[in-house]
């Protein structure tokens, strides 16, 4: 697939089917992520593939975060279960911590480039994904479940990978409003 076509086709998938994606395709996308630019060769991105056991623990945590002790109806539970278990793969995107605030900003930019590379690589293989940054991605219990030390790495997103329907078209701002020239 041409790069321009992959860029056009990339969309955030919100509803995944249960169809599996091959590990090979996912590993290829990690290779693409690793080709992203970064200032001073910090290579700040890390990706952790999460298995079903830990997804079950994340699901329980998500229920606590969302409902606390309140009673929950079946359809709400199903919605959260589907979100947690339907995507074929769940990758945790983390950024290596630094006390240097300038580097932290640049490293986040580099990680975003890496995630975009990963997304485009998946699109080229007709696979979709979603970068999510909800409450659960920041909760201290998530770090414990995933065995990620918050003093070493910061979770910058959950990357859900799988097949799903393309979402409705989003109207983008006209180019004339985002591009200008100066003499």
Ligand X SMILES: Cc1cc2nc3c(=O)[nH]c(=O)nc-3n(C[C@H](O)[C@H](O)[C@H](O)COP(=O)(O)O)c2cc1C
5 lines the binding site for ligand X (CB under 6 A): no
Judged by CB under 6 A, does residue 11 bind ligand X?
A: yes
User: Residues in the chain, how many?
Assistant: 183
Size of the site for ligand X (CB under 6 A): 9
Least Å distance, CB 75 to ligand X, is 19
Of 7, 10, 4, 13, nearest to 158 by C-alpha is 13
Q: Which two tokens stand for residue 129?
A: 């994904």
In angstroms, give the least distance from the CB of 158 to ligand X. Answer: 8
Tokens found for residue 52: 């079903």
Position of tokens 């989003």? 170
Minimum separation from the CB atom of position 78 to ligand X (A): 18
Assess 8 for contact with ligand X (CB under 6 A).
no
Instruction: Report the site for ligand X in 103-142 (rule: CB under 6 A).
Output: 131-134
CA 146 – CA 49 distance, rounded (Å): 10
Half-sphere exposure of residue 64: CA atoms within 13 angstroms, side-chain side: 10
Query: What is the x/- site pattern for ligand X, positions 143-172, by CB under 6 A?
Result: --------------x---------x--x--
Residue 12 near ligand X by CB under 6 A: yes
Nearest distance, CB of residue 112 and ligand X, angstroms: 7
What is the helix (H) or strand (E) element at residue 160, kind and residue range? strand 153-162
| Residues near ligand X, by CB under 6 A | 11-12, 131-134, 157, 167, 170
């Amino acid at each position: 697939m041409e790069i321009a076509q992959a860029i056009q086709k990339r969309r955030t998938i919100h509803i995944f089917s249960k169809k599996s994606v091959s590990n090979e395709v996912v590993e290829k996308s990690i290779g693409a992520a690793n080709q992203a630019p970064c200032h001073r060769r910090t290579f700040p991105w890390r990706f952790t593939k999460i298995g079903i056991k830990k997804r079950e623990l994340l699901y329980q945590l998500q229920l606590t975060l969302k409902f606390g002790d309140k009673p929950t109806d079946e359809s709400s539970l199903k919605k959260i279960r589907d979100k947690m278990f339907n995507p074929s793969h769940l990758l945790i995107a983390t950024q290596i911590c630094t006390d240097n605030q300038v580097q932290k900003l640049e490293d986040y930019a580099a990680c975003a480039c890496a995630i975009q590379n990963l997304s485009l690589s998946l699109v080229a293989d007709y696979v979709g994904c979603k970068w999510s940054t909800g409450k659960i991605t920041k909760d201290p219990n998530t770090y414990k479940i995933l065995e990620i030390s918050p003093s070493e790495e910061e979770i910058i997103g959950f990357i859900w990978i799988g097949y799903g329907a393309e979402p409705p078209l989003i109207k983008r701002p006209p180019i004339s409003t985002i591009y200008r020239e100066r003499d």
